[in-house]
Structure 1
Amino acid sequence: MDKIYIEDLEVYGYHGVNKEEKSMGQKFLISVEIFTNLRKAALEDNIESTINYAELCYEIEEEFKKEKYDLIEKAAEKLANYILLKYSSVERIKLNIKKPWAPIGKPIKYAAVEVDRKIHKAYIGIGSNMGDKKKNLNEAIEILNDNEFIKVTKISKFYTTKPVGYLEQDDFLNGALEIETLMEPEELVDFLLNVEKKLKRERIIKWGPRTIDLDVLLYDDMVSSNEKIILPHPRMHERMFVLEPLNDIAPYLIHPLLNKRIFQLKNILEK
């Protein structure tokens, strides 16, 4: 992957735990390593086809000085998120903040933190079988899109499907979403649970009726056995109400464990 480097941009800022650091300020050195495709800029020799690093330096300084944080960890996170959200061509960023005048009472060259961030692609299963089902699905999508760290990039058709597990309930309306997100998997799960709560989902009967159901199906090509989020979703390949809408938006996506594309898993289940 091509890269753009900015090394040790000097910025006077007001971050630190001590009161004096926020009032008097101090020097910080900011470095960024931006992963992006420079092919178009190289062929066209046009500044509009790349990231103008001169402008970026001014933007970094302005963003860095907007607020005062206790920790440079927070400042680094905010800066990395800012750049990823502003520049859609950035696929990944490493951002380093050095604090040469850190007040720790020992002779050091600097204290520093570095974050490594990227925009992740995830797929969400979405369903409802209570009240106005279509309205519930659309409200959930709207809430996701309203979050600054989530962008809904594809929405499947909605399908009416029979319930699974607990059968004494109404049919479901199911769909699938493709999203881009800066959230880590556990953060995404927590956010989706809050959306369900906001839309008044109650967990009374396992696989029972619900106003909204939001499940992370896939997250990049990650495989995880974390109790909070198992990836890929352990039952997605067994459920047509997942595969059919997912096939609408990502038929050639490869299941990272089964090594089969979504349309192939759907064909297998249909036999």
Structure 2
Amino acid sequence: MDEISVKNLEVFCHHGVYKEENVLGQKFLVDIISKVDTREAGKTDELALSVSYGDICRCVKKEMTKQNDKLLERVAERLAECILLQFPQINEVEIEVKKPWAPVLMHMDYASVKIKRSWHKVYIGVGSNLGEREEYMKLAKERVSGLPKTRNFKSAAIIETEPYGYTEQGKFLNTVYYIETLYTPEEFLDKLHQIENEANRKREIHWGPRTLDLDILLYDNLITEDEELTLPHPEMTKRLFVLEPLCMLYPRGIHPLERRRYADILEDLKGKEQ
């Protein structure tokens, strides 16, 4: 991915722990590295096909001066989020906020905080088989697509499926969502749990009936294993009701662990269940 860089942008503002810093203010220096595909802009010389570094600078200045923060970490986080939300062509940004006059009573060039933030691609399994199934699926779509710090929501078609695991229950409605987010996996999972709670989700029987079930299937190609969240979802390649709608959105995608396309995994699973 190409880069558009701004180095040592000077902004006078009032961030710091001490009262004097908040009252008197001081100069901060900011480095911004934005990951952007510049090929079409380079071929056509059209600004609309790239991102104006002048607009990035104005965005940074406005964000840095609109409020006072104690920590450089907070300043950098706000800047990264502001840039990614304001400039859709930017998929990743690296921010370094430098404080040349940090009050440490020793000589140094500056203190700084550097962070890197980006958009993440997430696939979510969705299911309901209890109560007003259609209404719960509608609620899920409205709430997930309306989450802040997200973009480019897509939904596969809804399918009706037989229960999996615990079979003494009604049929499910299932689908898969795609969305891009700035949330970490843990933050995004918490948002999904809040939506499930709004639908009065109860976790009483493993694989049992539920008003609404929202599972993170994939988060980029991240591979994790802990008690709260395992990625990719460990059961996804065994479930037709996940693979069928997933392949509507992402048929040529490759499973991070199995290194096989989802369309091929789906065909193999169909063959086994015939």
2:36 maps to 1:36: yes
Distance 2:196 2:104 in 1: 45
**Which amino acid is 2:58 matched to?**
Y
Q: TM-score, normalised by structure 2?
A: 0.95
Q: Match for 1:15: what amino acid?
A: H
What is the total number of aligned residue pairs between the two structures? 271
Q: Does 1:258 align with 2:258?
A: yes
SS state of the match for residue 31, structure 2? strand
Distance in 1 between residues matched to 2:50 and 2:174, nearest whole Å: 40
Contact 1:152 1:177 in 2 (8 A): no
Displacement, 1:152?
A: 4.8
SS of corresponding position for 2:88: coil
Aligned mates of 2:202, 2:253 — CA distance in 1: 32
Structure 1 residues 138-194: Cα deviation after superposition (integer angstroms, max 9, x where no partner):
212221222221235210001111111222221110000011011111111122112
CA distance in 2 between counterparts of 1:247 and 1:21 reads 55
- TM-score computed with the length of structure 1 as normaliser: 0.96
For 1:92, give the aligned amino acid: E
- Which residue is equivalent to 1:21? 21
The answer for the alignment partner of 1:193 in structure 2 is 193
**Number of the residue aligned with 1:224:** 224
SS in 1 for 2:269: helix
Question: Residue type matched to 1:148 in 2?
Answer: P
What is the deviation of 1:234?
A: 0.6
Letter in 2 for 1:173: L
Q: Which amino acid aligns with 1:169?
A: Q
Structure 1, unmatched stretches of 5+, are none
Aligned AA (2:99): K
**Which structure 2 residues correspond to residues 50-129 of structure 1 after superposition, within 5 A?**
50-129=50-129
- SS, match of residue 263 in structure 1: helix
Tell me the distance in 2 between the aligned counterparts of 1:93 and 1:214.
29
Matching residue's letter, 1:9 = L
- 1:139 corresponds to which residue? 139
Structure 1 residues 206 and 233 mapped into 2: Cα distance closer, same or farther (>3 Å)?
same
Q: Is the 8 A contact 2:59 2:82 kept in 1?
A: no
Q: AA paired with 2:85?
A: L
**Counterpart AA for 2:71:** L
1:236-264 CA deviation, whole Å, 9 max, x = no partner? 00000100111111111110111111111
Q: Which residue of 2 aligns with 1:236?
A: 236
**Aligned partners of 1:250, 1:127: CA distance in 2, in Å?**
18
Aligned mates of 1:191, 1:150 — CA distance in 2 = 12
Classify the secondary structure of the residue corresponding to 2:260: coil
CA distance in 2, matches of 1:19, 1:163: 61
Structure 1 contact 12–27 (Cα < 8 Å) conserved: yes
User: What runs of 5+ residues in structure 2 fail to find an aligned partner?
Assistant: none
Could you tell me which amino acid in structure 2 is paired with residue 222 of structure 1? L
